[in-house]
A = this chain, B = another copy of it.
Amino acid sequence: MASRDYNKEFFNVTFPYQYVAVVEIDRQKKLNSYTQQMFTDIGTIFSRLSIDPEVRVIVLTAAGERAFTAGLDVTAAANGPLTGDGMADQKCEDTARKAWSLRRHIKEIQEPVSEIEKCEKPVICVMHGISYGAAIDISTCADIRICSKDARFSVREVAIGLAADVGTLTRLPKTNVGMSWIKDVCLTARDFGAQEALSVGFVSGVFENKKAALDRGLELAKDIANKSPVAVQGTKAVINYSRDHSVNDGLDYIAVWNAAMLQTKDVKDALMSGLQKRTPTFEKL
């Protein structure tokens, strides 16, 4: 599948190495801020990467030096459903009907963002510069989060009068970051930097600048891409399942999972190439 199949107005999708896809947000004039269409587009991209046999790992980054993303495009949002004006076409006066419409609208944005989490392949999110609002929603869907020193994060939502509903409040507690710190940043909407993000465990690596962070992201990606895709994608699936279930349920799930997956010849190939000190190659999945 050629890279041109994936590109959207504000997203560039490239394949710099075998099995490695890079998704780049590119709306630099607006600090890579998100319109509703962009949420739809990123969902479409990840749901397709999820089943593309040429892809084994995905790096998510953003164009330009200033921002990973400034979050929701407030100008667009100010005319949209958030402030009720966007409902004008419905001329909906009844509170319950407006609530119904808003609930659907929220789910319409949640769903594409969740595609990043549901993507069968690991997603490495590399952040830099301004990383506000949607940056948190999106990166908490990724498997691995790293950033450059200049990254500035903020859970922006309370500053504009709302409780974050695209996933931040739900997924941050599942990152295993300390709850006292999570409440601090979510209730104050204050900025926090790369070093703070590292020390609490929100990111698992901080690098000198965007280039160094991206290099590390790509290195991780290549490393993962060289592993058996049956093993890698199974590992992601089982960790995500375990996060939301009891230990007993998790153990049972992996036993059922591996009942099929251990029958792969990748195990033999990996064991053999390990003994022979060579890099194994694995069939497409």
The verdict on A239 contacting chain B, using a C-beta distance below 8 Å, is: yes
Minimum CB–CB distance from A103 to chain B (whole Å) comes to 4
The verdict on A204 contacting chain B, using a C-beta distance below 8 Å, is: yes
Contact A162 B231 (CB under 8 A): yes
Mark out the residues of chain A between 103 and 126 whose CB falls within 8 Å of any chain B CB in the assembled complex: 103-104, 106-107, 110, 114, 117, 122
0/1 interface trace, chain A 254-266, chain B, CB 8 Å (1 if under) = 1111111111111
Given A242-B173, A255-B110, A262-B82, verify A96-B230 contact (CB < 8 Å): yes
Task: Specify which of B82, B103, B114, B269 is in contact with A256 (CB 8 Å cutoff).
Answer: B103
Contact B170 A96 (CB under 8 A): no
How many chain-A residues does the 8 Å CB contact rule pick out? 115
- How far apart sit A230 and B169, CA to CA, in the bound complex (Å)? 15
A268 — which chain B residues lie within 8 A by C-beta?
83-84, 161
Interface of A is mostly: helix
0/1 interface trace, chain A 2-31, chain B, CB 8 Å (1 if under) = 000000000000000000000000000000
A97 — which chain B residues lie within 8 A by C-beta?
230, 264, 283-285
The verdict on A220 contacting chain B, using a C-beta distance below 8 Å, is: yes
User: Which residue of B has the minimal Cβ distance to A117?
Assistant: B247
Task: Specify which of B175, B180, B253 is in contact with A180 (CB 8 Å cutoff).
Answer: B175
Copies in the complex: 6
Task: Specify which of B83, B160, B205, B238 is in contact with A163 (CB 8 Å cutoff).
Answer: B238
Task: Specify which of B161, B171, B189, B282 is in contact with A267 (CB 8 Å cutoff).
Answer: B161
The verdict on A66 contacting chain B, using a C-beta distance below 8 Å, is: no
- How far apart sit A256 and B202, CA to CA, in the bound complex (Å)? 27
Contact B242 A244 (CB under 8 A): no
Minimum CB–CB distance from A272 to chain B (whole Å) comes to 9
Given A173-B176, A180-B175, verify A99-B189 contact (CB < 8 Å): no
Interface, chain A (partner B; CB < 8 A): 51, 74, 77-78, 81-84, 94-100, 102-104, 106-107, 110, 114, 117, 122, 143-146, 157-165, 167, 169-184, 186-190, 200-205, 220, 223-224, 227-228, 230-239, 242-251, 253-271, 274, 280, 282-285
Given A102-B262, A159-B270, A176-B176: 14 more A-B contacts, CB < 8 Å: A96-B262, A97-B285, A144-B180, A158-B231, A160-B274, A162-B228, A163-B230, A176-B179, A183-B236, A187-B232, A188-B220, A188-B224, A200-B204, A260-B263
